[in-house]
Amino acid sequence: MELNLQGKVIIVTGGASGIGEAIVREAAKEGAIPVIVNRSTDRGMQLSNELKNAGHECLYVQADLSKEDQCRRVIEETIQALGKIHVLINNAGINDKISLETGNPEAFMRSLQNNLLHYFALAHYALPYLKQTKGNIINISSKTAVTGQGGSSAYIAAKGAQLSLTREWAVELLPFGIRVNAVLPAEVLTPMYQKWLEEFDDPDQKIKEITRKIPLENRMTTVEEIAYTVLFLASDRASHTTGQYLFPDGGYTHLDRAISNP
């Protein structure tokens, strides 16, 4: 299926690693122009140079998205360099494990600043340009927003808010033909996930415990599979899809665990 993404400017936050990197790479393969937004200059420049050397057009913007003025600058630099915005993919974030018991209100608010503010700020500053292109917004949330996780109150609060904003913006932006959807990854073997696994005495055994509970093929979801779902939503092939939550997770969130291999 042709996604018709050629020449489309697609902003991807956290775009130099994990799920964000996969989205950037697949967008470039589709002929889109990914804007890689990342805090780490080294990773961002490395990916940007790699794509350019392979003949793809892209833009790298270094930014600390916990700061509102840098969110505004991301949009300004994108417009200065490329002149338009077709898709905003809010993806950047980190599970800082601020829990109800061991955290405190100050840490909770700081976590929201890191994980939620930029979803709103980037959408706010990109909105005039998305109106011009009848573009769309995709919020990357997490299955933990609907299941809970334990020990991650602030992160889960941000992820749940991202889902609520998805529905709110889908309603608010109907008059402009701007679609807004969310994708909720579950068990995806990103570098951040791998780091979490290494906290266990036997990471290999831990991943076996997890994958045997994933109904479809008893395996992790790949970053590419998340990217394919995101880019379908970004494309005009999903032209009548808005306000939706998609779970590319092998049935992990919703199917009865009893059907998985013991």
Q: What is the 3-state secondary structure (H, E, C) of 88-119?
A: EEECCCCCCCCCCCCCCHHHHHHHHHHHCHHH
Handedness of CA 131, 139, 250, 16 (dihedral sign): positive
Does the residue 24 lie in any domain? yes
DSSP state of 86: -
In terms of Cα–Cα distance, which of 167, 147, 159, 176 is closest to 242?
167
pLDDT at position 195: 85
Question: Catalytic: 245?
Answer: no
- CATH number of domain containing 80: 3.40.50.720
Does the residue 208 lie in any domain? no
Does the residue 39 lie in any domain? yes
The dihedral region occupied by 185, where left means phi > 0, alpha psi between -120 and 50, and beta the remainder, is: beta
**Alpha carbons 121 and 117: distance in angstroms, whole number:** 6
Contact 219, 187 (CB under 8 A): no
pLDDT at position 191: 85
Q: How far is CA 73 from CA 48, 70, 104, 251, in A?
A: 18, 5, 31, 39
Does the residue 242 lie in any domain? yes
Does the residue 210 lie in any domain? no
pLDDT at position 40: 86
Give the residue numbers spanning the domain of 94: 9-187+222-250
Residues of the chain scoring pLDDT < 70: 260-262
The active-site residue out of 155, 193, 228, 252 is 155
Specify the DSSP element, H or E, that contains 22: helix 18-29
Report the number of distinct structural domains present in the chain. 1
CA gyration radius for the chain? 18
Does the residue 64 lie in any domain? yes
Does the residue 259 lie in any domain? no
Contact 37, 16 (CB under 8 A): no
